[in-house]
């Protein structure tokens, strides 16, 4: 397969595999050696045509991370790292099931105990949510 010649072609090749944030596309173009003006033009074209959209990226990525058991803190971190704006991050989080429900599902699957609490903390769930779902699950088991 021939190597892409333009910044847009390079970006499109990267976007074939998964949605990327504006920052991620820009970083890939920079790594390939495209000058700033070409990167800016390519990003403007991709954003104008809707091929790169930070809001869509945030929603898709947040859903994916939540499905893999990530808490809100971990999702926020991943989206910030990808260069997504705070407003788009918070909108994406609002579209997910509440963090407490996602944590409760993990507790149901893994069981109650300190190991599960550590797991939830490691996955980016807030201390309040961890305490509530682990305590709530313990109360349910006690009757």
List pLDDT tens digits, range 85-97: 999 999 999 999 9
Q: Is the pLDDT reported for residue 140 higher than 60?
A: no
List pLDDT tens digits, range 13-60: 999 989 999 999 999 999 999 999 999 999 999 999 999 999 999 999
Residue with tokens 């820009």: 26
Q: Is the pLDDT reported for residue 131 higher than 80?
A: yes
What is d(CA 73, CA 27) in angstroms, rounded to the nearest whole number?
A: 24
- pTM for the whole thing? 0.86
Instruction: Please give the structure tokens belonging to residue 61.
Output: 């990525």
Q: Is the pLDDT reported for residue 8 higher than 50?
A: yes
Q: Is the pLDDT reported for residue 122 higher than 50?
A: yes
What is d(CA 55, CA 115) in angstroms, rounded to the nearest whole number?
A: 35
What is d(CA 129, CA 60) in angstroms, rounded to the nearest whole number?
A: 23
């Amino acid at each position: 397969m021939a190597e892409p010649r333009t910044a847009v072609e390079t970006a499109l090749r990267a976007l074939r595999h998964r949605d990327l944030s504006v920052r991620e596309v820009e970083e890939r173009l920079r790594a390939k050696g495209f000058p700033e003006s070409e990167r800016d033009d390519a990003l403007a074209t991709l954003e104008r045509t809707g091929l790169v959209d930070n809001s869509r990226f945030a929603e898709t990525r947040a859903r994916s991370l939540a499905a893999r058991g990530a808490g809100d803190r971990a999702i926020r971190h991943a989206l910030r790292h990808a260069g997504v704006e705070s407003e788009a991050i918070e909108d994406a989080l609002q579209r997910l099931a509440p963090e407490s429900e996602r944590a409760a599902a993990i507790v149901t699957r893994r069981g109650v105990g300190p190991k599960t609490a550590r797991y939830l903390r490691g996955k980016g769930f807030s201390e309040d949510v961890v305490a509530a779902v682990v305590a709530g699950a313990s109360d349910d088991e006690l009757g």
